[in-house]
Amino acid sequence: MTRSRFFKPRVEPALVSRIVAWRRRSAADLAADAAKMRWVVVDVESSGQNPCSDHLLSIGAVAIQDGRIRFDDGFETVLQQSHASDTANILLHGIGGQRQVAGEPPDLALTRFLEYCGKDPVVAFHAAFDKALIGRALDTVLGIDLASRWLDLVYLAPGLLPEIKERCHTLDDWAAQFGIINHARHNAVADALATAELFLALYPEGAASRHEPGQ
C-alpha cells in the first residue's frame, strides 16, 4: 500500500515518519492505577461555537502523572489560518488576526499534538466540542483519528458531587467551587490548567466512591 492511502497530500513528507511512529505506540492501559497514569488535559479555542463548521485556532494541554500536574510537560500551538476570525471572536480569546495568519502550519501543529498525547487518555470540560474540533482537523489535515479515550468533566463532576450540581454548570462555576483561579480565561493553556486542577480536586471524590463499603 502506498502512503497516499493513509496520509493527505498536504502532509509534509518529513512528518510522515513521525506520524508512523505515533501510530506504532502502544495504547494506554486503562486498567492501570489511575493515580499513576498520564492524563492529557486539553482545551481549544475556535473561530466560533459550531464544531462542524468553525475552525480550530489553538490547542493547549497539560499533563497529569502520579496525581500531579506536570508543569514541565505542556503543549501549546496556534494553527495557521487562511484568514483571521471576526472581531467579536478575537475579543473572546485574544488571538489576534496577525497571530492567526502567522500561526504554525496545521500539519506540523497536529503532528506535534499527536506526539504529545501519545495514546494516553484525554480529559476536557465539554469534551464533545474539543474532540469534534480536533478530530475534524486531524481528519482534514492528516487523514487520521486521535484514537484516545476521552473523559468529560462536565459529566464526571456532577456525577461525583450531585449535591452541588444545580449551582455548578460551567468550568467557571466548578473552578469557583474549589477555589481554582484562572488568570487567563479563554486562553487554551490556562483553561486546560484550570481543568486539570478541577480533575485533581474531583479525584478524591472518585476514589472515595470506588472504596465505599460493599463496592
**Average pLDDT of the residues in 38-65:** 97
Element (H, E) at 203: helix 188-210
* Grid coordinates belonging to 75: 503543549
| Planar angle of CA 30, 64, 90, nearest 5 degrees | 115
Helix segments in 65-170, DSSP class H? 87-93, 97-101, 106-117, 127-141, 153-160
Choose between 151 and 210: higher pLDDT: 151
In terms of C-beta density within 10 A (0-12 exposed, 13-18 middle, 19 or more buried), how is residue 102 classed? exposed
- The pLDDT score that the predictor gives to residue 8 is 58
CATH of segment(s) 33-208: 3.30.420.10
Confidence band for 50, pLDDT divided at 50, 70 and 90: very high
Q: Which residues pair with 79 in a beta bridge?
A: 104
Dihedral of CA atoms 83, 84, 87, 93 in degrees, nearest 10, equals: 160
Confidence band for 46, pLDDT divided at 50, 70 and 90: very high
Q: Which residues pair with 63 in a beta bridge?
A: 40, 70
**Average pLDDT of the residues in 44-64:** 97
- The pLDDT score that the predictor gives to residue 104 is 97
* Cell numbers 467579536: residue: 88
What is the model's pTM?
Answer: 0.89
**Average pLDDT of the residues in 155-162:** 95
* Grid coordinates belonging to 76: 501549546
**Average pLDDT of the residues in 171-189:** 93
